[in-house]
Amino acid sequence: MIGFPDVWWCCGWVSAGRRWGCCSSCCRGEEFVVQLQVALDVLDLPSALTLANRVSEFVDILELGTPLVKSAGIAAVTAVKAAHPDKLVFADLKTADAGELEADLAFGAGADLVTVMGVADDDTVRGAVAAGARHGKRVVADMIGVVDGRVERIRQVAELGVAFVEIHAGLDEQARPGYSIDRLLADGRAAGVPFSIAGGVKADTIGSVREAGAVVAVAGGAIYNADDPAAAAAELQKRIVS
Amino acid sequence: MIGFPDVWWCCGWVSAGRRWGCCSSCCRGEEFVVQLQVALDVLDLPSALTLANRVSEFVDILELGTPLVKSAGIAAVTAVKAAHPDKLVFADLKTADAGELEADLAFGAGADLVTVMGVADDDTVRGAVAAGARHGKRVVADMIGVVDGRVERIRQVAELGVAFVEIHAGLDEQARPGYSIDRLLADGRAAGVPFSIAGGVKADTIGSVREAGAVVAVAGGAIYNADDPAAAAAELQKRIVS
């Protein structure tokens, strides 16, 4: 497992071209290594565990998608962490209010990473970060819903203490004709803070995610909609490091 | 029980001063009646059921707060509806993506009303509304996180087909010194579409919520933090109609 919390900041700054040094656990000398996160976008715990079991050897982070948490409850986080204690478990709560309360709930259930919405009130973000500090865990700001002024807001939430920022186009946005991952990547490059990319990460785009300097690439449909999710995850892992 | 779906639009337009007529189930002749919603902001189902049992006779709508849904899962909606089939059950999902999927999940579990975030992509709102149409249920747009241009966005989401718009200051925003409900009320008056108010509704403000023309007043802490939640709900009910 790649550890927390130092790795993120180190890699973030490395990825942003500010080489303050490189921790050997995530970087190979001067070569930056992106982590692979799979979004378990299913609606029940048995399906999530089945999918996680199939793909876990090829990914670094197991994400419980927002609909899964709402459907199955926070106990699903505990179950996934228990089944995969060597992986980072990411609870995509997309918290919009009561930041400390919701993050505390997820960290208490075993999450290593919890999302708060980038559109949320600054005090909501601060509350989630405070909960993370108490648990020795980290908060991610999900930028879904931030369209105008995204780069500026990314920098603001980074200042509030999140570990990194997920630049995210949702499923509904991706479903529109003409959708492209390129604007996400451009905003990541421009922001100059540690970021992940979610929204259209697949075999033929993951190379550009790496080149843009993301600390994490989040893949959902490219894995769970594949005929062979394990093979799809293995392919993404291969492309992320080569 | 006050029925759906016609009531909302009727009352909304009545409240906005556009008297297209008045349905007898929610209006008393020309007198507009605001509905009272209690936010069950607890973290486990037994506590939610206990609170609902204490206050249900005084309220119209039982809301499962977002942290409760994330904690206990969507089955909590089914349990509250089963215990109170004569009340409207409001699942505060605060959906930010996958609008149709999440709304379908909640309606399928027994919710009468489901929230989608006003900051969400228009297609997310449309998806939730489409799920509502299939189930014969209604969607509410929660405006939390929309600060600049709120009146304009309220009108936009109303056009997308939500039943009404919840003008909402979150718990984190309310906790700041100097917070006032007045700006919520001003935006409700200005928007000219059916709206509810959440954020500081209590005995000494609920009269102003009614005067502003809200279709629903949402009370949380004023009820669940009271020494006697039933008495607090009864007092709010009394003030909402007199």
- Interface predicted TM-score (ipTM): 0.90
Say if residues A7 and A25 touch (Cβ distance below 8 Å): yes
pLDDT of amino acid B206: 97
Of all residues in chain A, the percent with pLDDT exceeding 70 is 86
A-proximal residues of B, 75-114, CB under 8 Å: 75-76, 93-94, 96-99, 101-102, 105
Question: CA A193, CA A190: separation in Å to the nearest integer?
Answer: 9
- Find, among B147, B139, B135, B149, the residue nearest to B95 by Cα: B139
Q: Which residue of B has its CA nearest to A123?
A: B172
- Are the C-beta atoms of B111 and B81 separated by less than 8 Å? yes
Nearest to B123 among A70, A102, A176 (CB): A176
Per-residue pLDDT of chain B (242 residues; tens, 9 = 90+): 333 334 444 444 444 333 333 444 444 444 567 999 999 999 999 999 999 999 999 999 999 999 999 999 999 999 999 999 999 999 999 999 999 999 999 999 999 999 999 999 999 999 999 999 999 999 999 999 998 899 999 999 999 999 999 999 999 999 999 999 999 999 999 999 999 999 999 999 999 999 999 999 999 999 999 999 999 999 999 999 87
Mutate to test the interface with B, among A41, A172, A174 (most CBs of B within 10 A): A172
Which among A105, A124, A175 has CB closest to B172?
A124
Q: Under an 8 A CB cutoff, do B98 and A176 touch?
A: no
The gap between the terminal CA atoms of chain A, to the nearest Å, is 20
Residues of B in contact with A71 (CB under 8 A): 73-74, 105
A30 confidence band (pLDDT: 50, 70, 90): very low
Q: Could B75 and A74 be called an inter-chain contact, meaning their C-beta atoms sit closer than 8 Å?
A: no
Q: Which pLDDT belongs to residue B16?
A: 39
Sequence-ordered strand ranges (E) for chain B: 27-28, 31-32, 35-40, 61-64, 88-95, 113-117, 138-142, 164-168, 195-198, 216-219
Nearest CA in chain B to A121: B145
Q: 3-class secondary structure for chain A?
A: CCCCCHHHHHHHHHHCCCCCCCCCCCEECCEECCEEEEEECCCCHHHHHHHHHHHHHHCCEEEECHHHHHHHCCHHHHHHHHHCCCCEEEEEEEECCCHHHHHHHHHHHCCCEEEEECCCCHHHHHHHHHHHHHHCCEEEEECCCCCCCHHHHHHHHHHCCCCEEEEECCHHHHCCCCCCCHHHHHHHHHHCCCEEEECCCCCCCHHHHHHHCCCEEEECHHHHCCCCHHHHHHHHHHHHHC
Strands (E), B86-184: 88-95, 113-117, 138-142, 164-168
Chain B hits for A42, Cβ within 8 Å: none
The mean pLDDT value for A18-23 works out to 37
- Domain range annotation of chain B: 32-241
Entry pTM: 0.90
**A123/B175 CB distance under 8 A:** yes
pLDDT digits (tens, 9 = 90+) for A141-191: 999 999 889 999 999 999 999 999 999 999 999 999 999 999 999 999 999
Nearest chain B residue (CA) to A72: B73
Greatest alpha-carbon pair distance for chain A in Å reads 44
The torsion angle over the Cα atoms of residues A180, A121, A132 and A10, rounded to 10 degrees, is 50
Identify which of A94, A101, A121 has the shortest CB distance to residue B96: A94
- Is it true that domain B32-241 has CATH number 3.30.499.10? no
Say whether pLDDT at A19 is over 80: no
- Report how many Cβ contacts below 8 Å link chain A to chain B: 115
Distances (CA, A) of A185 to A80, A180, A198, A213: 30, 10, 10, 9
Residues of B within 8 A of A142 (CB-CB) are 96
Contacts of A235 (CB under 8 A, 6+ apart): A203
Residue in chain B closest to A119 (alpha carbons) equals B145
Contact A68/B at CB under 8 A: no
Which residues in chain B are contacts of A94 at CB distance < 8 A? Answer: 94, 96-97
Contact B97, A166 (CB under 8 A): no
Yes or no, beta carbons of A66 and B119 under 8 Å apart? no
CA distance A11 to chain B (A): 29
Could you tell me which residue, A53 or B9, shows the higher pLDDT? A53
- Which pLDDT value is given to residue B31? 52
pLDDT of B33 reads 79
For the segment A211-221, the average pLDDT, to the nearest whole number, is 97
Nearest to B121 among A99, A121, A170 (CB): A170
